[in-house]
A and B are shown apart, each in its own frame.
Chain A
Amino acid sequence: MPSTRDIRRRIKSVKSTAQITKAMQMVASSKMRKAQLAALAGRPYAVLMNRVILSASQDSQDFVHPLMEKREIRKRGVLAVSTDKGLCGALNSNMAREVMKLDRDTTVFVTAGKKGAQFIARTKRMLAAEFLYKDAPVFAEARAISKKLQEMFLNGEVDCVDVIFTRFVNTLTQRVEVRRLLPIGETQMLLNETSVTSQPKAEQEQRATPEAGGLEHLFEPGAEHVLGAILPHFLNFIVYQVLLEAKASEHSARMVAMKNATDNAKQLIKDLTLEYNKLRQANITKELLEITTAQMALG
């Protein structure tokens, strides 16, 4: 049986925990708003870019850009996007689960975010590079990552590059997704999901029907030149969008996790206070009883 003092102490400690989680919840929710807007704003660009690339890659059969070259897959490159900090629900463990599914010997990892890098290192997998990205991802960070990925692909270090990240669906739902980045052309899968969740119907139909009559595109000043410019840019942007999605997911997940923690702490305080009062009452009753018995014995 704990003493009243023990219970009082516990209440105090739970209260201060609640205060911290409450503060974190507030911070996360204000960051979340910004991150969500950023992630959603980038989607139309990504979708349109996707469509452009798709039709372009179909129409340039005579020319294969190095970034579109399909090879037999012996080594896989994976970009794992995680968070820097914990306390964000199941986000990182969901990602870790996807990572575990991959073959240890033939997969090379590139990570964005500290938690992912730690996990890869702890499980002794191959880590080629480790990147950080800020709370508000900037394009330069995405460019650095995508440059590394392109180098790895072009050098033949890896034969394809996938990305594992959490897509932001809404505040309560974030989904881990594995998508192919390189070679481009298979990339179209990357954003299909987006269009389902965020694009109006008309848009989807338009996307679904291939361009009228299957006319071939002309390129000016030439397929090599145009594709050479658009493909790296496309990759940079996709990586950027992935970072934005990951950030939006992180803040949303953290907000929800912290809200749950605060609610739990409040419930705990309530229960403990009840227990404390009961105990206090019992003690008083006991003391009264002792006093009256003592008096009766004397009298």
Chain B
Amino acid sequence: MANTLKLEIVTPESKVYSEDVDMVTLPGIEGEMGIFPMHVPLMTQLAAGELSVRKGGQEFFLAVGEGFVEITGERVSILTDMAIAAENIDEAKAEEARQRAEARLAEKLDDEEVAMVKATLDHSLAQLRVKRRHR
């Protein structure tokens, strides 16, 4: 059986990542999950946060937004609305987005807008968290 996982990360805008990796740690909605090859098939929701990938002794980090994950023994498919590699995160921009979102939340909004602003806030927080941890 394969001893690597095929990790696919896709966002509505593009295919961000598609490679064979050794291990994936992802922020599930019920807590962090480490996925090794031969994992039982599983479907879950993804929370905004940090996703780390181990490949050949090296580790990569990505900031991801909410989404869905499908895991099979040899494959991890991640559908999310945001995925940015740690080195591509623009901290100043994320910080600015966070502040804007927080300011917007203070205003009166209907439910749909609140959900949207919250999502942006989560995105920027996830980016900031990843960036600050891996400096």
Contact = CB atoms under 8 A, between A and B. Distances in A.
B79 interface: yes
Nearest to A244: B12
A230 interface: yes
A45 B67 CA distance: 11
B104 to A, nearest CB: 16
Contact of A44 (B10, B42, B70): B10
A217 B74 contact: no
A14 interface: no
Interface string B1-35: 00000001011111100000000000011100000
Given A42-B12, A56-B70, A211-B72, A48 B43 contact: no
A55 B42 CA distance: 11
A217 B43 contact: yes
B43 A220 contact: yes
B41 A216 contact: yes
Nearest to A56: B43
A291 interface: no
Contacts of B14: 41, 44
A52 B40 CA distance: 15
Contacts, number: 73
Contact of A221 (B8, B11, B44, B77): B44
B10, B14, B43, B72 — most chain A CB neighbours (10 Å): B43
A218 B40 contact: yes
A49, A220, A230 — most chain B CB neighbours (10 Å): A220
Contacts of A56: 43, 70
A229 B73 CA distance: 24
A289 interface: no
A212 B1 CA distance: 11
Contacts of A52: 43, 68, 70, 77, 79
A229 B42 contact: no
Chain A binding surface, main DSSP class: helix
A65 interface: no
Contact of B12 (A215, A217, A237): A237
Contact of B72 (A212, A221, A229): A212
B108 to A, nearest CB: 19
A160 B59 CA distance: 47
Given A48-B79, A52-B79, A215 B30 contact: no
Nearest to A47: B10
5 contacts: A44-B14, A52-B70, A220-B28, A229-B45, A233-B68
Given A56-B43, A220-B43, A226-B43, 9 more contacts: A41-B12, A51-B77, A52-B43, A216-B41, A217-B42, A217-B43, A218-B41, A218-B43, A229-B68
A-B interface, 7 closest residue pairs, ranked by CB to CB distance from nearest: A220-B44, A217-B41, A44-B15, A52-B70, A218-B42, A45-B10, A215-B41
